[in-house]
Structure 1
Amino acid sequence: MSKRKRFFIAGTDTDAGKTLVACAILEAAKQQNLKTLAIKPVAAGAEDFGDGLRNDDALNLQQSMTEPLAYASLNPVVFAPPIAPHIAAEQAGKRVTVSQLAGYCRGVMMKPVDMLLIEGAGGWRVPLNQRETLADLAIELQTPVVLVVGMKLGCLNHALLTVEAIQRDGLPLAGWVANQIDGEMRCFDENLQTLQGMIPAPCLGVIPHLPQPASPVEAAHFLNLSALL
């Protein structure tokens, strides 16, 4: 690869499957002998097992990427309660800003890898404080976006509004992934076809409903990274 690839992983909603897809992309890149890193700049929902707060999503990213990275660099801002980051920050007496998170990200982005993923939290407009959202971080870093669409009832509206917001924010939508989080979703194929016709970006894959906990290695089988690489 002649150029380092960097992508912001966004989701249509909380629990859309951002981490599963991010880890699957890392696994698929690993199969192509690419060096990879990932960052979870801010996470809310963590436990302390004696070595500080640890977020499951960040730990999963750490397992799937090829290059070593200290947890403090992987997930520099972490809060215990699984609530909106700005509320968790307020409760902890802290303030999270885009410039702060961007600084952490740029430190990791300097490392010589083929692909680097930055995973958001929740949906595209999740607030970081009273004025800034996670979308502002993607804008500040000027990273193309990979959108994870959680396939369930209501996903058409969530997906199309998110695509519209990404475009309005001036960022390229590098691709999107359909992740079937509802194994009994009615009219799945029809919903998928609608999204394929209306989202102006390549579909990188359709991940079926997998047994829980879903395996990123298995999910990687359903992805095609050619549009990203």
Structure 2
Amino acid sequence: MDTTRPPAFFVTATDTDAGKTTISAGLLAAARQRGLSTLACKPVASGSQHTSDGLRNDDALWLASQCSIQVPYAHINPHAFAPAIAPHLAAASAGVRLDGRELLADVRRILAHHAGLTLIEGAGGWRVPLNADETLADLAIALQLPVILVVGIKLGCINHALLSAEAVLRDGLTLAGWVANCTDPHMACQADNIHTLQQWMPAPCLGVIPHLQSTQPAALVPHLEPALATLLA
């Protein structure tokens, strides 16, 4: 890790609903227990709800709840859209064109706080489009942050994980590690799938998160504390 700047990571996943926000919130909670300041940003979020304060996204609110540095909601989630569809389509339905340079400025505003741990959470997987020319991967490349890959452990996850890892590395970024998030409690050969990933993935397994009754950040801390120690080493 570059020790000249506070730890910051870009969090992506193998797919939608793999558990990026759950893992991110858990890592932030673990960092807070260590006495570190925390901050996060979800630059783009679709599937947001209309409130008296404007559009609010549940994932962004979940991240905000674990940020010790208080900033306006619009800094944590500068681009929120109502439809629960791909971000570029949700933006288009609102008459907005997402722009990578604007998103980069949004994230740099968060990084400028120099929190003890900062997490930048993507949307969906690695190649989610922002517009006709850019994807969220382009934002990660511009940021040059190491990447945490959340792997939703379900049927098909091996291929999804290996392709995602390959794409991250091909884009010239560091894959800091991956987290196995056991989203399907009924998956056949779950342990064997995780073992196969541990053999094939070109980065360390930061942790295996079992299917938990509670996904509250505090419940994840015992499972993610070793991951945090590895990321901060």
TM-score > 0.5, shorter chain as reference: yes
Of 6, 11, 14, the residue aligned with 1:12 is: 14
- Three-state SS of the structure 2 residue aligned to 1:228 is helix
Of 97, 112, 116, the residue aligned with 1:95 is: 97
Instruction: Report the counterpart of residue 191 of structure 1 in structure 2.
Output: 193
Give the C-alpha shift of residue 112 in structure 1: 2.8
Of 41, 44, 65, the residue aligned with 1:42 is: 44
Distance 2:114 2:125 in 1: 29
Distance 2:216 2:131 in 1: 34
Instruction: Return the letter of the residue paired with 2:210.
Output: P
Instruction: Report the counterpart of residue 66 of structure 2 in structure 1.
Output: 64
Deviations 1:151-185 (A, max 9, x none): 00000000000000000000000111000000111
Give the C-alpha shift of residue 108 in structure 1: 1.2
Instruction: Report the counterpart of residue 182 of structure 2 in structure 1.
Output: 180
Instruction: Report the counterpart of residue 53 of structure 1 in structure 2.
Output: 55
Distance 1:138 1:155 in 2: 22
The 8 Å contact of residues 10 and 146 in structure 1, kept in 2 or not, is answered as yes
- Three-state SS of the structure 2 residue aligned to 1:72 is helix
The 8 Å contact of residues 38 and 61 in structure 1, kept in 2 or not, is answered as yes
Distance 2:147 2:71 in 1: 23
Instruction: Report the counterpart of residue 217 of structure 2 in structure 1.
Output: 216
**Range moving further from structure 2, 17-26 or 65-74:** 65-74
Give the C-alpha shift of residue 49 in structure 1: 1.7
Distance 2:150 2:114 in 1: 26
- Three-state SS of the structure 1 residue aligned to 2:148 is strand
Distance 1:168 1:62 in 2: 32
Instruction: Return the letter of the residue paired with 1:211.
Output: Q
Instruction: Report the counterpart of residue 110 of structure 1 in structure 2.
Output: 112
Instruction: Return the letter of the residue paired with 1:86.
Output: H
Instruction: Return the letter of the residue paired with 1:8.
Output: F
Of 205, 226, 229, the residue aligned with 2:229 is: 226
Distance 1:88 1:2 in 2: 38
Distance 1:31 1:94 in 2: 39
TM-score, length basis structure 1: 0.97
Superposed CA RMSD = 1.1
Instruction: Return the letter of the residue paired with 1:187.
Output: C
Distance 1:211 1:2 in 2: 39
Q: What is the identity percentage for the equivalent residue pairs of Structure 1 and Structure 2?
A: 55
- Three-state SS of the structure 1 residue aligned to 2:104 is helix
For structure 1, the residue ranges without an aligned partner over 5 or more in a row are none
Give the C-alpha shift of residue 2 in structure 1: 6.7
